[in-house]
Amino acid sequence: MEKIVVVTGANSGIGLALCDRLLSEDGRLRLCLACRNMKRAEAARATLLVSHGSARVDLLHLDVGSAQSVLSAAEELKARYHRVDFLYLNAGIMPNPTVDIRAFFKGLFSRNVINMFATAEGLLTQQDQLNSDSLQEVFATNLFGHFLLIRELEPLLCQPGHTSRLVWTSSSNARRSAFSIQDIQHRRGKEPYSSSKYASDMLSMALNKHKNQQGLFSSVICPGLVMTNLTYGILPSFFWTLIMPVIRGTESLDPRAKYHSLTSGLGTNYTEPRRMDLDDEMTEVFFSKLLELEKEVRRNLSKKTADSEHYQQYLNEIQ
Ligand SMILES: NC(=O)C1=CN([C@@H]2O[C@H](COP(=O)(O)OP(=O)(O)OC[C@H]3O[C@@H](n4cnc5c(N)ncnc54)[C@H](OP(=O)(O)O)[C@@H]3O)[C@@H](O)[C@H]2O)C=CC1
Ligand SMILES: CC(C)=CCC[C@@H](C)[C@H]1CC[C@H]2C3=C(CC[C@]12C)[C@@]1(C)CCC(=O)C[C@@H]1CC3
């Protein structure tokens, strides 16, 4: 039977490489590239078709950072497909990253050096902002938009007698200490990326608890350090070429494991499951906070729609 696979943020980097790999592994699947920029999505589709001429590759407009776009995209998916077998929650951002050079040199001569290169602990901060739904942009893009998408797609993902799988592109930068259950959007801190990735680890576990009985399974992967637009936003490409030989040697892909992609000092690639630092109680509280926030965002969206309809009506009346 044809498998339907949806990948968010599929037009570049890890998402595009993943699509290429999926098509190489299974020529019968039907792939849907869910992207915010349709020109880039077209280009990605064309690239995939060069090496997989007979592949079925659909495009879908989806801005995971906008609740309205997520709802529209989910409607479109429900109209197009009867079921989704795999949903890869891959789109992600790290806006305005800053590397703490002092911390880097301090870390270089400490016992923590390997961990520092593998996880960027203490090295990276970002500047976040509010999006059009008044949510923190990193939280909205990396986590909440995906959560809303899953909620909307439940009819396609949770079907009797059928198993579907969610796969989150998480990160070794996901850290419990960057996340606060009192501030799930990370409004106050300087590590929104790390917080959002820890939140996705927790959400994956909560979804397993709540949805496994309905045939929906979730897992998280960690691709290691990959040269993509995201990493070129941290340091320019020539810099990476210089430091990559150093980083390579230390690089870091059951519901409680994160699948780390690793490279040995000799350059051999392998994957290793590692247990995540998760707290069952906090995960449950987080899940209920997300459900509350979902209600609030839906209320705000309905209000916005009603307001613009009233305004349109008023304009019609005065004309
Ligand atoms: N590179 C790395 O070392 C690591 C990356 N990751 C994670 O991997 C994932 C992919 O990132 P990577 O490939 O590195 O970086 P890229 O910037 O190449 O890819 C990110 C993708 O997400 C898309 N995207 C961003 N914002 C939105 C949005 N609002 N709606 C829809 N799509 C969006 C981008 O689209 P557009 O082209 O339009 O910007 C792009 O296709 C991210 O979740 C990242 O956090 C995890 C660990 C390490
Ligand atoms: C000479 C100098 C200033 C070196 C700095 C190296 C750092 C920029 C990298 C060391 C570990 C890297 C890392 C990431 C970004 C770049 C580093 C901090 C990620 C945070 C990128 C995105 C991820 O999801 C995880 C990566 C972990 C390691």
Q: What CA–CA distance (Å, rounded) separates 194 from 196?
A: 6
Q: What pLDDT, on the 0 to 100 scale, is given for residue 246? A: 67
Helices within 175-257 (DSSP H only): 192-211, 229-232, 237-248
Q: Which of the two residues, 116 and 204, has the higher pLDDT score?
A: 204
Residue to substitute in 6, 7, 12, 258 for testing ligand 1 pocket (most ligand atoms within 8 angstroms of CB): 12
Q: What pLDDT, on the 0 to 100 scale, is given for residue 175? A: 95
Q: What pLDDT, on the 0 to 100 scale, is given for residue 143? A: 98
- Ligand 2 centre to CA of 99 (Å) is 8
- Ligand 1 centre to CA of 169 (Å) is 9
Q: What pLDDT, on the 0 to 100 scale, is given for residue 313? A: 87
CA–CA distances in Å: residue 58 to residues 7, 10, 29, 84, 292: 11, 11, 11, 13, 33
Question: What are the pLDDT digits (tens) for 18-77?
Answer: 999 999 999 899 999 999 999 999 999 999 999 999 999 999 999 999 999 999 999 999
Q: What pLDDT, on the 0 to 100 scale, is given for residue 163? A: 95
Q: What pLDDT, on the 0 to 100 scale, is given for residue 253? A: 35
Determine the structural domain holding residue 248 and report its residue range. 62-318
Residue 121, C-beta contacts closer than 8 angstroms, at least 6 positions apart: 112, 115, 173, 175
Domain assignment present for 5: no
- Ligand 2 centre to CA of 151 (Å) is 33
User: Where residue 181 sits, what CATH number does that domain have?
Assistant: 3.40.50
Q: What CA–CA distance (Å, rounded) separates 280 from 125?
A: 27
Domain assignment present for 53: no
Domain assignment present for 4: no
> How high is the ipTM of this complex?
0.98
> What is the token pair recorded at 223?
């691709």
Residue to substitute in 231, 248, 263 for testing ligand 2 pocket (most ligand atoms within 8 angstroms of CB): 231
Nearest atom within ligand 2 for CA of residue 172: 25
The answer on pLDDT for 298 being more than 80 is yes
**Residue 311: active-site member:** no
Question: What are the pLDDT digits (tens) for 118-132?
Answer: 899 989 999 999 999
Domain assignment present for 23: no
Q: What pLDDT, on the 0 to 100 scale, is given for residue 273? A: 82
Determine whether the shortest distance from the Cβ of 178 to ligand 2 is under 6 A.
Answer: no
- Asked whether the beta carbons of 66 and 130 are under 8 A apart, the reply is no
Question: What are the pLDDT digits (tens) for 156-212?
Answer: 999 999 999 999 999 999 999 999 999 999 999 999 999 999 999 999 999 999 999
Domain assignment present for 3: no
Question: What are the pLDDT digits (tens) for 233-279?
Answer: 999 888 888 877 766 544 433 567 777 888 888 788 888 888 888 89
Count how many domains the chain has: 1
Q: Which of the two residues, 87 and 316, has the higher pLDDT score?
A: 87
Domain assignment present for 278: yes
> What is the token pair recorded at 225?
């350090």
Domain assignment present for 136: yes
Q: What pLDDT, on the 0 to 100 scale, is given for residue 317? A: 86
Domain assignment present for 299: yes
- What are the phi and psi torsion angles at 24 (to 5°)? -70, -35
| Catalytic residue (choose from 81, 88, 193, 232) | 193
Grouping H, G, I as helix, E, B as strand and the rest as coil, residue 307 is: helix
Nearest atom within ligand 2 for CA of residue 235: 8
Q: What pLDDT, on the 0 to 100 scale, is given for residue 80? A: 98
Nearest CA to ligand 2 atom 13: 120
Determine whether the shortest distance from the Cβ of 226 to ligand 2 is under 6 A.
Answer: no
Q: What CA–CA distance (Å, rounded) separates 87 from 56?
A: 16
